[in-house]
Amino acid sequence: MPAVRYLKTAALVLGALLAAQPALADVRTLETRFGEVQVEGDITRVVTLYEGALDLSYAVGVSPLGAVITRGGNGVASYLQDQARDVAIVGGPRETNLEAVIALQPDLILASSSLPEDQYRLLSAVAPTVVPDVDMFQPDAWKEEARLFARALDREDRLEQELAELDRRIAGLGARFAQAVPPEQRKTALVRWMPQGPLMMSAGLFTPGLLKAVGFAVQDAGIVEPGRPHSSPLSQEKLSLADGDWLFLATLNDDGRQALAAAESSPAFSRLAVVRNNRVIPVDGQVWTSATGPLAAHAILDDLEREIARLEP
């Protein structure tokens, strides 16, 4: 009988210990660019140092405390501004204000795959810092990145629901596009117009991937070096490299829009077949050439849906 009582007592003590330490069962080990990172328990104080991480966070129902400004802007990207009214700015795409990050007392930092290792070491002393180890020029690389961030936030199920909805929307738009546009009229380029000239965006990026999924034949004229997001600025004489059936023309800010307005009056621009056929589509460069994530994808698809609707009877 004493032995039986001992076994029962031991079982009760073991059960109590396990119940008292639930966090031990909720440690997520993440494979990142700089090795394994462990994230424990419920994350409530998030800082994002990358536009794709901010987008993903909002998509899965998490509101970060801090974020970086978008390229060419002085705040977060325009399509996220309504959600990010209370977010603190802690730097830009290439430079982080470490003191501003520390002041927010984060329990998780989400960064881009290009974060330098010296910055990672400093940030990881503040909080677990997740840096994806992905090649962003591979198909669906952004989804792999999003899944890593979602696992860190313990919101994987929510992300998969968002991705499934996105796939359904792409399939629907693709069917409409196939009906509206013949295969021989789908050659497409994405160009970001900067004050120093137009940049041909790589066909391997996030937005060109969405365009391809809908049915566009995206090209970058073979002038973008491997591993680079865009070409060097094109001269007026080389504008014809961007010619085709469709041209999505992105600007980041007022300087880019003014440069584009000046270029539109040039003979080289007016000679493009895509200009003569009225298939030049102005788009927001903060979304089309800088952002990634489920919410950015829907914003881009909103623009495409409007264009497809104009072609339908």
> pLDDT averaged over consecutive 10-residue blocks of the chain (313 residues)?
43 42 68 95 94 97 96 89 94 90 97 94 96 88 96 97 98 97 96 90 95 97 92 91 94 80 82 93 93 97 96 90
Residue 126 structure tokens:
């503040």
Q: Dihedral, CA atoms, 40, 136, 205, 218, nearest 10 degrees? A: -130
Domains and CATH numbers, the chain: 24-154 (3.40.50.1980), 162-311 (3.40.50.1980)
Q: How many residues in the chain? A: 313
- Grouping H, G, I as helix, E, B as strand and the rest as coil, residue 241 is helix
Question: What residues contact residue 195 under an 8 Å CB cut-off, 6+ apart?
Answer: 255, 256, 258, 259
Rounded to whole angstroms, the Cα distance separating 248 from 233 reads 16
Residue 270 CA to residue 262 CA, distance in Å, equals: 12
DSSP at 87? P
* Predicted model pTM: 0.89
Q: Which residues contact 180 (CB under 8 A, 6 or more apart)?
A: 308, 311, 312
- Residue 93, burial from CB neighbour count under 10 angstroms (0-12, 13-18, 19+): middle
DSSP notation for 114-134: T--HHHHHHHHTTS-EE----
